[in-house]
Amino acid sequence: MTLRSLTILLSIAFLTSCTTTKPEHEKTHFTELKTLLPNLKYDIRYNTNNNFVGSRINGYNASKAYLTNEAAAALKNVQADLNAEGLGLKIYDAYRPQRAVDHFVRWGQDPDDTLTKSTYYPDIDKDSVFAYGYVAKQSSHTRGSTVDLTIIHLTTGEELDMGSPWDFFGAISNHDSPLITPDQTANRNKLRKLMLKHDFKEYPQEWWHYTLKDEPYPDTYFNWVIE
């Protein structure tokens, strides 16, 4: 072997030893939830026009839901508890690519686009969505351990009445809102009790939103496409 060949081989070995896999560029740290929770139901509206933007969101090329492996394992325990009562989970959103968040921000900065106001934010001005925290430049969803969900009856697929629709921008969506009935409050509390039991934490402004307490990537905002 020539000295030049040996130098090239040593250089390659050095570069290989210094290369680390960046988790934001791969899915091996994530689980597609239906592969772990077979009787899970999806309603991935960001892959449709039925959402507060009014069009399919960038980064959603399939109606699938992913979470980090740790968050998915915790959610499986929630589902198991519900299944024992003939109930289950429906997922609205889980991992959310940063490109989707950027899409939300562009929408929020366009004052002329109010197509969905009557359905999703009838009681607030669009220019308030940032101040109220409904839209932000970074989302916990993008870290991969946050999920939007509700409870359903397994036999019918019917959702428990939570008092407000998912992704509704208004005070009635606050977890402890006084604007809902006792039965609706009980349904929200049922979901909250189970999620807290299995190591998630709530987001008080949105009854459907939970994040794994010890999320594995608290400082990483992923951007791979859902497909």
206 tagged catalytic: yes
In angstroms, the Cα distances linking 178 to 123, 161, 174, 201 are 16, 15, 9, 21
In angstroms, the Cα distances linking 110 to 115, 119, 123, 124, 132 are 11, 18, 18, 15, 17
Q: What is the dihedral of CA 103, 114, 207, 165, to 10 degrees?
A: -120
* Catalytic entry in 70, 206, 215, 227: 206
CB 42 within 8 A of CB 62: no
CA gap 224, 24 in Å, rounded: 7
Cite the beta strand spans of the chain per DSSP E.
Answer: 30-32, 41-42, 66-68, 87-93, 146-153, 200-203, 206-212
Q: Is 79 helix (H, G, I), strand (E, B) or coil?
A: helix
CB 168 within 8 A of CB 129: no
Distance separating the N- and C-terminal Cα atoms of the chain: 47
Residues with a known catalytic role: 206
